[in-house]
Every structure is written in structure tokens, then in C-alpha cells.
Amino acid sequence: MKKMGRPKGENNKEKVCTIRMDESTLTRLEAYCNLMQIAKSEAIRDAINKLVDDAQEKKTE
């Protein structure tokens, strides 16, 4: 019998990472997400990707 549920895509987000942050940071994150109409996890992934990309660019200079 075929498994029920959401179909698998190409770029599944299967890994979970729990983080701790202070109230001020969480408030800023939520405000940003409301403004941009995105999920907190998407905003955090975007921020991590930008940090890594910026670091790699700095390293190659």
C-alpha cells in the first residue's frame, strides 16, 4: 500500500535545528517575517545562506 501524506520534493527540509534566542531577537525576527510574509524558518535559512556567501566572498578577496 502506498504511503499517505505530502509527496516528496527535490529539496526536502528533513533536518530540524532548535535554537535559543532572547526575546528581543525573537521579536525582531517575527516583525521581519510579518513584513516579508515568510516563515521564520525561511528567514533563518536565508540569513544563514547570506552569512556563508558573504564569508566566502570575503575569503576570496
| 38 Cβ neighbours under 8 A, 6+ residues apart | 46
Helix/strand number for the chain, H first, E second:
2, 0
pLDDT at 8: 73
| 44 Cβ neighbours under 8 A, 6+ residues apart | 19, 29
Q: What's the pLDDT band for 2 if we cut at 50, 70, 90?
A: low
3-61 tens-digit pLDDT: 777 677 777 888 899 999 999 999 999 999 999 999 999 999 999 999 999 999 998 88
DSSP letter at 7? P
CA 46/CA 51 separation, integer angstroms: 9
pLDDT at 14: 84
Domain coordinates of the chain in residue numbers? 23-60
